[in-house]
A = this chain, B = another copy of it.
Amino acid sequence: MSTPLRLGIAGLGTVGIGVVKIIQSHADLLTLRAGRPITISAVSARSRRDRGIDLDGYAWEDDPVALAKRDDVDVFVELMGGSDGPAKAATEAAIAAGKDVVTANKAMLALHGNELAQSAEDAGRAIRFEAAVAGGIPVVKALTEGLAGNEIKRVIGVMNGTCNYILTRMETSGLPYDDIFAEANDLGYLEADPTLDVGGIDAGHKLSLLSSIAFGTRVAFDDVELQGIERISIDDIRHAADMGFKIKLLGVAQMTGRGLEQRMTPCLVPATSPLGQLDGGTNMVVLEGDSVGQIVLRGAGAGEGPTASAVMGDVIDLARGIRISTFGQPAASLQPAPAAKATAAAPYYLRVVLQDKPGALAKVATVLSNSGVSIDRMRQYGHADTTAPVLIVTHKTTQDALDHAISGFAETGVVVGEPVAIRIENV
């Protein structure tokens, strides 16, 4: 067991550098735990600029595909990112050359995970991706291994630290979305394409991977109901807080009688709940199993150290000889699942701006009542001009009933602009 496990690392950004640092600084600890030394044979990146660490001992490859195929590489560590292009080409090359793969690439797996998992299994190799979901939180391992004796009921989570940072900062600063978006951008928190973050796509990628493990289904990112945080207003954050809620970009996946429900959308959660208290860039994933009940996992969702920690957990597993199917069961056994809309009833937060006319409120209440939507709590705020915002928390209702009510508002002649409706999850 003293044969070293030799890595080829493609991508020397924050995470890649973090991995190199751990291997350089913790050699003895890693050898003890993994049962063999973990070494780096070669690295690859777009440029050979100085990264502040010593890379002299490692071979350099300009081409990640060439790196992936090297005879002195046992595990290809893919930290380049991007769903297609070099990352996918190099991953495929690594598998074809009989290497195991460790990746932090949620986009690649969300779009091509089914095929890549099948290729890896055909080749008797493993693809590990703890770093792709929720940074340093070992949630892929908890779900695939620790909770493997459970029928999973539901997966819920805040899995994009940047969105959570923006929503938290909007609340604490009272500043609107655009200002805090600019701040996050200045701090380097946003992806090159910020829509990946604020549009919920990155978090949706992650949810689709957890869904596959949880429910034994083929990865179906296209079926994730996606809604970003771009339209969340500072008013809604404030009103929600007044009524005891926080707004979070929340992922929910569950198997229903009608199919697999996967959504990554802004939701209200109770301010005093664990999810409600999750501030800043931290991630939280809640796993619900039939035997274990509810398990909550919390930690840093991004950053050099946490993500490198997740990569190293996978690398050490491989050094220990652990090889599990990518999504916890053979790729060929993953079932296609029809996509189900969120039809389960839930309470909703509703913000409607009314013209300041006698009877306006009664008209809105009548529309709700006629649509079968009953009101739990309502607040009318003082108004600046000729309009007044009204906030409503409904009892449990269906999206259909709510849509019916909202379309009915238009006919009242007293509702100004588009009503805002946000689902409330009592997690």
Contacts of A315 in B (CB 8 A): 149
A292 in the interface (beta carbon within 8 A): yes
Contacts of A138 in B (CB 8 A): 141-142, 145-147, 295
A317 in the interface (beta carbon within 8 A): yes
- CB–CB A299/B308 < 8 A: no
- CB–CB B146/A130 < 8 A: yes
Give Cα distance in the complex from A290 to B150, angstroms: 32
Contacts of A26 in B (CB 8 A): 149, 151
Contacts of A130 in B (CB 8 A): 146
Task: Knowing A145-B138, A295-B136, A297-B296 are in contact, say whether A305-B290 is a contact too (CB < 8 A).
Answer: yes
A32 in the interface (beta carbon within 8 A): yes
Work out how many copies of this chain go into the complex: 2
Q: Mark A123-166, 1 if CB is under 8 A from B, else 0.
A: 00000001000001110011001111111000000000000000
A291 in the interface (beta carbon within 8 A): yes
- CB–CB A299/B291 < 8 A: no
- CB–CB A297/B300 < 8 A: no
- CB–CB B320/A293 < 8 A: no
Give Cα distance in the complex from A144 to B359, angstroms: 65
Give Cα distance in the complex from A313 to B149, angstroms: 6
Contacts of A306 in B (CB 8 A): 291-293
A22 in the interface (beta carbon within 8 A): yes
A274 in the interface (beta carbon within 8 A): yes
- CB–CB B274/A312 < 8 A: no
A389 in the interface (beta carbon within 8 A): no
Task: Knowing A290-B305, A293-B299, A300-B292 are in contact, say whether A216-B151 is a contact too (CB < 8 A).
Answer: no
- CB–CB A292/B136 < 8 A: yes
- CB–CB B150/A309 < 8 A: yes
Contacts of A291 in B (CB 8 A): 18, 22, 136, 305-306, 308-309, 312
Give Cα distance in the complex from A315 to B274, angstroms: 31
Beta-carbon nearest neighbor of A304 in chain B: B291
Contacts of A337 in B (CB 8 A): none
A329 in the interface (beta carbon within 8 A): yes
A324 in the interface (beta carbon within 8 A): yes
26 contacts between A and B (CB under 8 A): A22-B291, A29-B151, A33-B148, A33-B329, A34-B148, A136-B291, A141-B142, A148-B313, A149-B308, A149-B309, A150-B309, A277-B277, A289-B309, A291-B306, A293-B299, A294-B300, A295-B297, A295-B298, A295-B299, A296-B296, A297-B297, A298-B298, A320-B322, A321-B321, A321-B322, A322-B322
Chain A residues packing against B (C-beta within 8 Å): 18, 22, 26, 29-30, 32-35, 130, 136-138, 141-142, 145-151, 216, 274, 277, 289-300, 303, 305-306, 308-313, 315-317, 320-322, 324-325, 328-330, 333
5 new A-B contacts at CB < 8 Å, known A130-B146, A145-B317, A295-B297: A22-B291, A138-B146, A149-B316, A293-B299, A295-B298
